[in-house]
Amino acid sequence: MSIDVARYHGWHGKLGSPWWATLAMVRVALLQVFRRKAYWIVLGLGLTQFLLFWSVIYAVTQLNPPPQVRERILEAFGFSAETAAPQDSGYILFMQRQSLVVMILLAFSGSLLVGADFRLQTLPFYLSRRIDRMHYIAGKLLAVAVLVSLLTWVPALLLFIEYGMFTSSLTYWVENWRVPLAVLAYGLVLCVCLSLLLVALSAWLQRAAPIAVTWSSLFTFLALLAEYLREETGQQAWALLDPWRDMRYVGRMCFGVFTRQSQEALAPWALLVLGVLCGACLLLLVRRVRAVEVVE
Amino acid sequence: MRLLRAWQTLVWLSARRMLFSSSTLVVLLPVAISLLFVLHRNYGAWDDSARAFDRFSRFLVAGYLLFVIPICTLAYGTSSLGGDREDRTLLFLLVRPIPRALVLLGKFSASVPLALGLLLACFGGYCLLAGEVGRLAWNAYLPAVVLSTIAYLAVFHLFAVVFRHATTVALIYALFMELVLGHMPGIIKRVAISYYGRVLMYAGGEPWGVRAPPAQWFEPISATAATWALAGLTVASLAAALAVFQWREYRDLT
């Protein structure tokens, strides 16, 4: 009996690009994440911030509070009462405030999405398909980037849409057309930096506990010490030690909004620090994801 | 006698596995960062020793007590039993003729000297680098460090027994409950272990001028009450962990 009779035969159609496989990796990664209750709890925590901002926008646009109260509420949340004013930075504030939830979510996801492939030796299954390590790395980075997006720039854009929809004309959207672009740019910075860092760390450390310890040391402990050093020495440059702050400075550069002169001066340096960090992570990652593992 | 030997073997094996693991390596990261911080600040060379002690105490409270201790204990506390669960080797442990309570106590006993040894060594290192100020801090803050470490370890062992993804839950606890709730006004902060640790540290540093935050943000209880609270938390968490581990049927071991 020929093998064709057993309905086992090669594909005669046109083969698609292996880059499409990255989308399959993203789909599987999201399924893995959303299957677990703990992740829903963390996503729920992230949603509370979104609902808070949503309610504030609703209150100031629909409930017509006295101008002073309205001004105060908007000030507290970083929005400008005047639509044409340049400091429409409530979206930066929102994305900044999501940092703790994003950090916790990624600390868990690293082991599940990337570490397990190395620990349980499932990497050969990926690399035995028609994809090479670049596709694997791109798929994993994209998966983490989607998780980051779900908590940062996607809800920020929804808030922008909401603000415009609660006004009586298209003026808000037209006059603030730069805001969604800036949100997207800041979102891109967050996605690129966080996904590269997490995937590189997870590929090397593999287990949940070491990844969580390193991740929180990088993002919480360094921030704390940077703040101390900045306060005690008076040198603003210490702030560059904190990766979140670096991303925030670059984000402010995208928005063109700086609350202090020092932030503006440090923003290019923050970009440089992030560039070096991402380059190092990419090198480590390419070095770690090797087909030689399959032979071993 | 046989049980005692089995327990000793388990403690030795677990301690060795935890010591030579990636957890030990990564725990050294915050420790090293702190060490560089203390080295940079050079508290021993300050002219105003009262100010130096105050600043060193601030670092110990905010950096060491609120971050380094929870993170180091998380690494060992969740991986002592969680590591076996993750590697699916817990089954082989449970089929041995050793009571479950003894298995858990063995794991806990293995993690205590490791975590305590590491944390005390780095605390001693910071104090040594801080000179005279450090010597005062060592005497004043040692009870808080020891009691907080053991309490955290007990709580994280409870998490390891109860939750499948103990690291996840422990990290939420360490970063959210301890850091966020621990800094809220009112008595809600009393759910955090770090609150009692801070009470002990502020009480220890009081003779040298260390002051607790304003009363509307931080209402301290007495040092004796904080000591009992930490001891009680340790015993209660361990008892709860023993009870759950004794009766629970783990379905994810194979």
Question: Inter-chain contact A221–B55, Cβ cutoff 8 Å?
Answer: no
Q: How many domains does chain B divide into?
A: 1
The model's pLDDT over A187-204, given as tens digits with 9 standing for 90+, comes to 999 999 999 999 999 999
Count other Cβ atoms within 10 Å, centred on residue A275. Answer: 12
Flag whether B252 is in a domain: no
Under 8 Å between Cβ of B157 and B77: yes
pLDDT score, position A293: 52
CA dist A134 and A68 (Å) reads 55
Flag whether B200 is in a domain: yes
pLDDT score, position A82: 57
Count other Cβ atoms within 10 Å, centred on residue B33. Answer: 19
CA-based angle B122:B128:B133, to the nearest 5?
115
Question: Inter-chain contact B74–A209, Cβ cutoff 8 Å?
Answer: yes
pLDDT score, position B3: 84
Q: For B210, which DSSP code?
A: -
Q: Is a pLDDT exceeding 50 seen at residue A296?
A: no
Percent over 70 (pLDDT), chain A:
94
- Structure-token match 């950096």, residue found: B63
Point out the residue among B23, B33, B78 whose CB comes nearest to the CB of A221: B33
Write the DSSP string, A29-70.
HHHHHHTSHHHHHHHHHHHHHHHHHHHHHHHHHHS---HHHH
The model's pLDDT over A119-133, given as tens digits with 9 standing for 90+, comes to 888 888 888 878 888
Mean pLDDT taken over chain B: 87
The model's pLDDT over A228-245, given as tens digits with 9 standing for 90+, comes to 888 888 888 888 988 989
Chain A residue numbers with beta carbons less than 8 Å from the beta carbon of B31 are none
The model's pLDDT over B198-239, given as tens digits with 9 standing for 90+, comes to 999 999 888 888 888 887 778 888 999 999 999 999 999 999
pLDDT score, position A1: 58
Task: Break chain A into its structural domains and give their ranges.
Answer: 28-295
Question: Inter-chain contact B168–A38, Cβ cutoff 8 Å?
Answer: yes
What the block records as the tokens of A213 is 């310890």
The dihedral built from the CA positions of residue A215, A221, A224 and A230, taken in this order, carries a sign that is: negative
What the block records as the tokens of A72 is 């105060």
Q: Is a pLDDT exceeding 60 seen at residue A85?
A: no
Q: For A111, which DSSP code?
A: I
C-alpha A9, offset from chain centre? 43
- The whole domain housing B80 covers 2-247
- Structure-token match 């001066």, residue found: A265
Under 8 Å between Cβ of B108 and B153: yes
Q: Is a pLDDT exceeding 50 seen at residue A65?
A: yes
A157 exposure class (CB count in 10 Å sphere: 0-12, 13-18, 19+): middle
CA dist A267 and A253 (Å) reads 7
Flag whether B58 is in a domain: yes
pLDDT score, position B78: 87
Flag whether B254 is in a domain: no
Write the DSSP string, A164-199.
HHTSSSSHHHHHTTHHHHHHHHHHHHHHHHHHHHHH
Q: Is a pLDDT exceeding 60 seen at residue B54?
A: yes
Which residues, numbered 216 to 245 in chain A, qualify as contacts with chain B under a Cβ-Cβ cut-off of 8 Å? 216-217, 220-222, 224-225, 228-229, 232
Q: Is a pLDDT exceeding 60 seen at residue A88?
A: no
CA dist A261 and A249 (Å) reads 12
Which residues lie closer than 8 Å to B118 by C-beta, 6 or more apart? B24, B27, B31, B72
Question: Inter-chain contact B176–A41, Cβ cutoff 8 Å?
Answer: no
Higher pLDDT: A220 or B144? It is B144
Mean pLDDT taken over chain A: 84
Which residues lie closer than 8 Å to A109 by C-beta, 6 or more apart? A33, A39, A144, A147, A198
Higher pLDDT: B105 or A12? It is B105
CA dist B76 and A76 (Å) reads 41
Point out the residue among A45, A214, A228 whose CB comes nearest to the CB of B26: A214
pLDDT score, position A63: 79
Q: Is a pLDDT exceeding 60 seen at residue A227?
A: yes
Under 8 Å between Cβ of B31 and B121: no
- Three-state DSSP at A4 gives coil
Question: Inter-chain contact A209–B169, Cβ cutoff 8 Å?
Answer: no
CA dist B87 and B108 (Å) reads 18
Q: Is a pLDDT exceeding 50 seen at residue A181?
A: yes
